[in-house]
């Protein structure tokens, strides 16, 4: 349903909603609050010190405003509640003065100090509403919480009918309320119990759908016939013996798993789960080599062009002694070059093609594809799994996913239940742990001194500054400012450049190249560099506003350094003192340990790194908090599938179609 069906949504609001991925009424209704404020008015005598409360009060005095500094003012007045008179202070709300007229009733939100008889308000509301539960939504520029509430109220008036994916048998078994009721109550709960009921329904539904897809894929995969490949194991061994390093035990095991799968009759569907820097690429390369020896083409997909290029270069190195034709398919190719490459893929001239997902999905029809590898799988969701199979590629190609999300094994087995799992836990022992330090912004000098030390040694530095890509202008300014500051600090003598998502592909690649060959010494960047990139000479990672990133992301970012035997450093700059979360980064370099801590501290935390990472980020469920529900949903969906109860049900047909696997 179109958003303009909702009154109160004009073109301007629609644009803003689009920014937060709301395009339809359905998107809007499933934009859930992330928490609630329980608004319950109390008498001022009941107020506890240091506890936020809501007090209905009457303004008694004129309002005084003191302008203390630029952007800093204090508004104060006297009010009464329940025959008690007290002082109210609120900061930076000088504009409220005109509304605070004597005798007006207002709602004060804030904390009361009985000793001083003063109330420090964080907000004052003039709409004296009843006690209620206020839903709180994630917001974006130009969108206030009250706007979302108002829009939602209008949307709920529409005759909407959202599909209820929970089968009746489970709705009954768990006493779940209907989907439409749940949608209404999640946005407009009257009681805490309303929140609980609606959350339970929506969480169960979300996890049921997820596990349904996983189990469905698992079923299909089990049945899937593959190509039984044969290759000369001696040649593979020669290849391994010629590597410039010794494989770690876990790399060896993963390779063994993969080669076994290739030789077996059923189709391989394997996830190689290993921390950053655990050496997953070489595992993939051995698979490609064996696949080549068997006479089949391979496709290697990367999430970004930069990464695709890097893989291309390392494959060229690894395969230099062999007559293996490698193609690189990226957006920066000319139309002509692209067509030529497609043709070579099509007629079998190219043995291995590396490219971004988009391109490989677009036009490539393979001659005889035998292996598809997806790097950095954690950026994609279950709906994208095996997408390639459907696009003109035979369904029997073996599939490998590489993922750098080190999550506890039990979780991995459930949420990746459709895949076989190889874990790489050990890291190449040439690695030195990256020395990590959390530094308060006011002590930035310490970081600058350390940076200078590294530069003197001829090393290079990554600097990361969080930038919300949506709201570019403002934030680009802050990145530019950072560049200026660094230029000043280093007397303009050090080549510094900025890499961000808004640059054209060509520009990004150019910068990466200049960083790779050492021309640029400091690369300031947004999280564009998060995945995969390998710059052995970069020995320091400085992350500003580190508190804004989740642990998984910080760990991924830190993994960009320490990629050779030089000692590397990571500085996490923040203005939040005693940040327990960031301390975890100082304690450990082990992604599995960090993810355990992440789970402990913030539920699923940002387990899956970047927020937009496919459909692995749930709208309402939280993998840790709701783990029991997940396990139940797993069992339930298995039963439901096994009994084929979903067959002929258009709801589930849509689901299965979405994962590209209609049989």
Instruction: Select the binding partner of residue 276 from Mg ion, ligand ADP, none (C-beta < 5 to 8 A, by kind).
Output: ligand ADP
Smallest separation (angstroms) from Mg ion to the CB of 375: 6
CB neighbours of residue 593 within 10 Å: 15
Quote the Cα angle for 143-145-148, to 5°: 70
Instruction: Select the binding partner of residue 534 from ligand ADP, Mg ion, none (C-beta < 5 to 8 A, by kind).
Output: ligand ADP
Nearest to ligand ADP of 281, 637 (CB atom)? 281
Nearest to Mg ion of 376, 398 (CB atom)? 376
Smallest separation (angstroms) from Mg ion to the CB of 416: 18
Nearest to Mg ion of 348, 428 (CB atom)? 428
Torsion sign over Cα 410, 411, 412, 414: positive
Smallest separation (angstroms) from Mg ion to the CB of 305: 15
Q: Is 529 helix (H, G, I), strand (E, B) or coil?
A: helix
591 binds Mg ion (CB under 5 A): no
Nearest to ligand ADP of 74, 425 (CB atom)? 425
Residues 98, 464: Cα–Cα separation, whole Å = 44
Smallest separation (angstroms) from ligand ADP to the CB of 591: 10
Identify which range of 153-161, 309-317, 412-420, 532-540 contacts Mg ion by CB under 5 A: 532-540
Instruction: Select the binding partner of residue 595 from Mg ion, ligand ADP, none (C-beta < 5 to 8 A, by kind).
Output: none
Residues 251, 279: Cα–Cα separation, whole Å = 7
Residues 211, 290: Cα–Cα separation, whole Å = 33
Identify which range of 239-247, 517-525, 527-535, 543-551 contacts Mg ion by CB under 5 A: 527-535
Nearest to Mg ion of 206, 275 (CB atom)? 275
Smallest separation (angstroms) from ligand ADP to the CB of 533: 9
Under 8 Å between Cβ of 340 and 353: no
Smallest separation (angstroms) from ligand ADP to the CB of 259: 17
Smallest separation (angstroms) from ligand ADP to the CB of 325: 22
List C-alpha distances in Å: 375 to 274, 342, 396, 646. Answer: 11, 21, 19, 33
Smallest separation (angstroms) from ligand ADP to the CB of 301: 14
Under 8 Å between Cβ of 462 and 541: yes
Burial of residue 289, with CB atoms counted within 10 A of its CB: 0-12 exposed, 13-18 middle, 19 or more buried:
buried
**Residue 41 has what DSSP assignment?**
B
Identify which range of 78-86, 169-177, 530-538, 581-589 contacts Mg ion by CB under 5 A: 530-538
Nearest one of 399, 380, 403, 401 to 390, comparing CA atoms: 399
Nearest to ligand ADP of 295, 428 (CB atom)? 428
At 206, list the tokens.
């979300």
In the complex, which residues of this chain contact ligand ADP (CB under 6 A)?
245-248, 251, 274, 276-282, 404, 428, 430, 534, 563
Instruction: Select the binding partner of residue 248 from Mg ion, ligand ADP, none (C-beta < 5 to 8 A, by kind).
Output: ligand ADP
At 545, list the tokens.
């506003």
Residues 296, 305: Cα–Cα separation, whole Å = 24
Smallest separation (angstroms) from Mg ion to the CB of 109: 48
Nearest to ligand ADP of 199, 376 (CB atom)? 376
Long-range contacts of 346-350, Cβ-Cβ distance < 8 Å, separation of 24 or more: 348/297, 349/325, 350/297, 350/325, 350/326
List C-alpha distances in Å: 506 to 265, 332, 419. Answer: 43, 7, 36
Nearest to ligand ADP of 13, 278 (CB atom)? 278
381 binds Mg ion (CB under 5 A): no
Q: Residue 293, Cα to own-chain centre: how many angstroms? A: 37
**Residue nearest ligand ADP (C-beta atom):** 279
Per DSSP, the residues of 162-176 read ----S-HHHHHHTTP
Nearest to Mg ion of 369, 533 (CB atom)? 533
Instruction: Select the binding partner of residue 245 from Mg ion, ligand ADP, none (C-beta < 5 to 8 A, by kind).
Output: ligand ADP
Nearest to ligand ADP of 133, 247 (CB atom)? 247
Instruction: Select the binding partner of residue 278 from ligand ADP, Mg ion, none (C-beta < 5 to 8 A, by kind).
Output: ligand ADP
Residues 226, 97: Cα–Cα separation, whole Å = 74
The H-assigned helical ranges of 224-241 are: 233-241
532 binds Mg ion (CB under 5 A): yes
Binding site for Mg ion (CB under 5 A): 532
């Amino acid at each position: 349903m179109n958003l303009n069906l909702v009154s109160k949504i004009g073109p301007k609001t629609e644009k803003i909603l689009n920014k937060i991925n709301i395009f339809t009424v359905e998107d809007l209704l499933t934009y859930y609050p992330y928490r609630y404020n329980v608004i319950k008015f109390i008498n001022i005598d009941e107020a506890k010190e240091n506890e936020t409360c809501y007090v209905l009060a009457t303004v008694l005095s004129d309002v005084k405003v003191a302008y203390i500094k630029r952007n800093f003012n204090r508004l104060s007045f006297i009010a009464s509640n329940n025959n008690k008179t007290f002082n109210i202070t609120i900061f930076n709300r000088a504009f409220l003065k005109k509304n605070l007229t004597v005798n007006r009733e207002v709602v004060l939100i804030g904390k009361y100090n009985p000793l001083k008889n003063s109330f420090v308000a964080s907000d004052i509301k003039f709409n004296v509403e009843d006690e209620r539960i206020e839903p709180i939504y994630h917001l974006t520029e130009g969108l206030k919480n009250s706007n979302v509430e108002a829009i939602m109220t209008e949307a709920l008036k529409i005759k909407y009918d959202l599909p209820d994916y929970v089968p009746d048998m489970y709705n009954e078994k768990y006493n779940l309320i209907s989907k439409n009721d749940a949608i209404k109550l999640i946005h407009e709960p009257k009681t805490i119990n309303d929140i609980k009921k609606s959350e339970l329904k929506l969480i169960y539904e979300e996890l049921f759908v997820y596990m349904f897809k996983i189990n469905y894929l698992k079923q299909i995969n089990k049945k899937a016939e593959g190509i039984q490949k044969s290759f000369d194991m001696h040649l593979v061994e020669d290849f391994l013996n010629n590597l410039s390093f010794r494989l770690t035990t876990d790399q060896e095991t993963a390779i063994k798993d993969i080669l076994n799968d290739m030789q077996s009759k059923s189709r391989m569907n394997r996830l190689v789960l290993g921390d950053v820097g655990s050496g997953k690429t070489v595992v993939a390369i051995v698979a490609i080599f064996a696949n080549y020896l068997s006479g089949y083409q391979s496709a290697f997909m990367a999430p970004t062009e930069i990464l695709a290029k890097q893989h291309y270069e390392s494959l060229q190195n690894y395969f230099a002694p062999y007559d293996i034709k490698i193609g690189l398919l990226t957006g920066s190719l000319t139309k002509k070059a692209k067509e030529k490459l497609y043709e070579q893929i099509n007629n079998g001239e190219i043995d291995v093609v590396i490219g971004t997902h988009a391109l490989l999905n677009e036009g490539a029809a393979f001659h005889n594809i035998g292996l598809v590898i997806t790097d950095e799988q954690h950026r994609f969701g279950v709906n994208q799994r095996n997408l390639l199979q459907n696009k003109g590629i035979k369904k029997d190609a073996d599939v490998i996913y590489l993922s750098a999300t080190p999550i506890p094994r039990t979780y991995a087995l459930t949420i990746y239940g459709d895949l076989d799992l190889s874990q790489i836990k050990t890291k190449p022992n040439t690695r030195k742990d990256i020395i990590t330090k959390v530094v308060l912004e006011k002590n930035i000098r310490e970081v600058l001194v350390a940076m200078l030390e590294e530069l003197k040694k001829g090393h290079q530095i990554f600097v990361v500054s969080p930038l919300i890509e949506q709201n570019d202008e403002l934030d680009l300014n802050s990145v530019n400012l950072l560049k200026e500051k660094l230029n000043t600090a280093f007397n303009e003598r050090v080549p510094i450049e900025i890499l961000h998502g808004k640059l054209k592909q060509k520009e990004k690649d150019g910068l990466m190249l200049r960083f790779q060959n050492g021309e640029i010494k400091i690369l300031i960047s947004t999280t564009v560099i998060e995945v995969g990139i390998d710059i052995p000479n970069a020995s320091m990672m400085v992350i500003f506003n580190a508190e804004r990133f989740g642990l998984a992301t910080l760990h991924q970012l830190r993994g960009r350094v320490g990629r050779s035997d030089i000692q590397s450093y990571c500085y996490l700059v923040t203005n939040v003192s005693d940040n327990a979360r960031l301390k975890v980064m100082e304690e450990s370099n082990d992604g599995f340990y960090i993810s355990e801590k992440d789970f402990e501290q913030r539920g699923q935390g940002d387990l899956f790194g970047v927020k937009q990472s496919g459909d692995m980020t749930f709208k309402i469920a939280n993998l840790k908090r709701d783990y029991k529900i997940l396990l139940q949903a797993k069992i339930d969906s298995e039963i439901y599938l096994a009994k084929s109860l979903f067959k002929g049900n258009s709801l589930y047909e849509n689901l299965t179609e979405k994962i590209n696997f209609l049989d």
